[in-house]
Amino acid sequence: MSELPVIRLRPKSKPQAIRHGFPWVFADEVVLDRRTRGLPPGSFAMLEDAERRPLGLVTVNPLSKIVARMMDMDEGARIDGDWLRARIGRALAMRQRLYDAPFYRLVHAEADGLPGLVIDRFGDAAVIQPNAAWADGMAEEIAGALADITGVGTVILNGQGRARGLEGLGERMEVLRGQAPAGPVQVAMNGATYLADLMGGQKTGLFYDQRPNQAFAQRLAKGARVLDVFSHVGGFGLAALAAGAEHATCVDGSAAALELAAGGAQAMGVGARLAVMRSDAFGAMEELAGEGRRFDLVVCDPPAFAPSKPALEAGLRAYERVAKLAAPLVAPGGYLALCSCSHSADLSAFRNVSARGIGRGGRRGVLIHSGQAGPDHPTLPQLAETGYLKALFFRLDG
**Could you tell me the pLDDT band of residue 14, with boundaries at 50, 70 and 90?**
confident
Distance from C-alpha of 63 to C-alpha of 166, rounded to nearest angstrom: 8
Give the range of the structural domain holding residue 380, as residue numbers without chain letter: 185-397
Distance from C-alpha of 348 to C-alpha of 70, rounded to nearest angstrom: 29
Please check whether residues 202 and 290 belong to one and the same domain.
Answer: yes
Q: What is the mean pLDDT of residues 112-128?
A: 97
pLDDT per position as a tens digit, 344-356? 999 999 999 999 9
Q: What is the mean pLDDT of residues 1-16?
A: 86
CA distances from 362 to 6, 161, 266, 301, 334 (A): 60, 37, 37, 21, 14
Please check whether residues 49 and 118 belong to one and the same domain.
Answer: no
Is 1 within a domain? no
Please check whether residues 298 and 157 belong to one and the same domain.
Answer: no
* Number of domains within the chain: 3
Is 383 within a domain? yes
pLDDT per position as a tens digit, 200-210? 877 889 999 99
Task: Using the predicted structure, report yes or no on whether residue 307 has a pLDDT greater than 90.
Answer: no
CATH number of domain containing 365: 3.40.50.150
Query: Any idea which residues carry the catalytic annotation?
Result: 341
Distance from C-alpha of 207 to C-alpha of 120, rounded to nearest angstrom: 9
Please check whether residues 288 and 224 belong to one and the same domain.
Answer: yes
Please check whether residues 144 and 196 belong to one and the same domain.
Answer: no
Instruction: Supply the pLDDT for residue 2.
Output: 54
Instruction: Supply the pLDDT for residue 190.
Output: 98
pLDDT per position as a tens digit, 35-64? 999 999 999 999 999 999 999 999 999 999
Instruction: Supply the pLDDT for residue 387.
Output: 86
Instruction: Supply the pLDDT for residue 314.
Output: 96
Please check whether residues 341 and 388 belong to one and the same domain.
Answer: yes
Distance from C-alpha of 382 to C-alpha of 110, rounded to nearest angstrom: 10
- Which of 177, 208, 226 marks a domain boundary? 177
